[in-house]
């Protein structure tokens, strides 16, 4: 394996899922503004139970699931979650997605957590490339990607039918070589980094071809 969990940053603890995380996740995934750019509708309790059961199995890229799912805590309170999953047979290419509770937006928590997970991806798993796909209207998540040194690679026009409309997708990615060339751009823990609301939307998940996570966030899902 790769990264010790729980993993601490300057303000957060990233850890694997527990069954009793259901209530905290339902608390923000059930909010319409969180689901706005996600493939899923606001969560119901039965749907939340299904999702938590799936995520409990995602304990590492080197496991049969080929995926890692974590929550982020501040002083013991779950305020967001993120996932990393393999997308090809080499075991070196992955996608990343995240969701932040709206009550904690604008404080740099998502930047800190996603940066830490990217460190796990490249330093722990020695990945070659990590990408993030998002609704083009999700400007906050695009800015987050840029803060962490991810480069905008594509803008796909009306390529995804979601919730009754064709939506545009933006793709960001970072290579291991990018991080070696500009290490200062990839610092994980920067409490001063500000953002708006952040979520993740569109993408292919290890178990379902297209699913998503996110609040005013990206299109990565689950």
pLDDT in tens, 75-103: 999 999 999 999 999 999 999 999 999 99
| Token pair recorded at residue 128 | 């070659």
Domain contains 175: yes
> Number of folded domains in the chain?
1
**203: pLDDT confidence band, cut at 50, 70 and 90?**
very low
Domain contains 27: yes
Mean pLDDT within 115-136? 97
Average pLDDT, the chain: 86
Using CA atoms, how far apart are residues 80 and 110, in angstroms rounded to an integer?
8
Using CA atoms, how far apart are residues 220 and 213, in angstroms rounded to an integer?
5
Domain contains 133: yes
Mean pLDDT within 31-53? 95
Distance of CA 199 to the CA centre of its chain: 7
Q: Please classify residue 183 by burial: count the beta carbons closer than 10 Å to its beta carbon, then call 0-12 exposed, 13-18 middle and 19+ buried.
A: exposed
The predicted pLDDT at position 138 comes to 93
The predicted pLDDT at position 182 comes to 82
Q: Which residue has the tokens 């793709």?
A: 171
Domain contains 149: yes
The predicted pLDDT at position 4 comes to 74
Residue 122, number of CB atoms within 10 A of its CB: 20
Domain contains 203: no
Give CB contacts under 8 A, 24+ apart, made by 51-59.
51/25, 51/222, 52/17, 52/19, 52/21, 52/22, 52/25, 54/207, 54/222, 55/17, 55/81, 55/83, 55/222, 56/16, 56/17, 56/18, 56/19, 58/17, 58/83, 58/85, 58/206, 59/16
Residue 188: pLDDT above 90?
Answer: no
The predicted pLDDT at position 215 comes to 33
The predicted pLDDT at position 139 comes to 93
Domain contains 113: yes
Residue 191: pLDDT above 50?
Answer: no
The domain in which residue 66 lies consists of 7-186
Residue 200: pLDDT above 70?
Answer: no
Residue 183: pLDDT above 90?
Answer: no
DSSP reduced 3-state for 172: strand
Domain contains 211: no
| Token pair recorded at residue 60 | 């590492």
Domain contains 106: yes
The predicted pLDDT at position 179 comes to 96
What is the CATH classification number for the domain harbouring 147? Answer: 3.40.630.30
**185: pLDDT confidence band, cut at 50, 70 and 90?**
low
The predicted pLDDT at position 61 comes to 97
């Amino acid at each position: 394996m790769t990264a010790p969990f729980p993993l601490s940053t300057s303000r957060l603890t990233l850890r694997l899922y527990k069954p009793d995380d259901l209530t905290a996740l339902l608390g923000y995934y059930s909010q319409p503004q969180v689901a706005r750019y996600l493939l899923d509708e606001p969560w119901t309790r039965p749907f939340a139970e299904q999702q938590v059961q799936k995520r409990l199995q995602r304990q590492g890229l080197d496991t049969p699931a080929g995926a890692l799912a974590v929550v982020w805590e501040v002083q013991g309170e779950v305020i967001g979650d993120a996932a990393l999953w393999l997308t090809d047979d080499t075991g070196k290419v992955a996608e990343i997605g995240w969701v932040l509770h709206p009550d904690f937006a604008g404080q740099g928590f998502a930047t800190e957590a996603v940066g830490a997970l990217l460190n796990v991806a490249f330093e722990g798993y020695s990945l070659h490339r990590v990408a993030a796909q998002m609704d083009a209207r999700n400007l906050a998540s695009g800015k987050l990607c840029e803060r962490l040194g991810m480069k905008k690679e594509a803008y796909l026009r009306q390529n995804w039918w979601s919730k009754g409309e064709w939506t545009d997708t933006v793709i960001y990615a970072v290579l291991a070589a990018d991080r070696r060339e500009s290490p200062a751009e990839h610092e994980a823990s920067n409490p001063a980094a500000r953002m708006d609301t952040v979520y993740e939307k569109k993408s292919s998940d290890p178990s379902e071809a297209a699913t998503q996570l996110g609040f005013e966030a990206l299109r990565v899902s689950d």
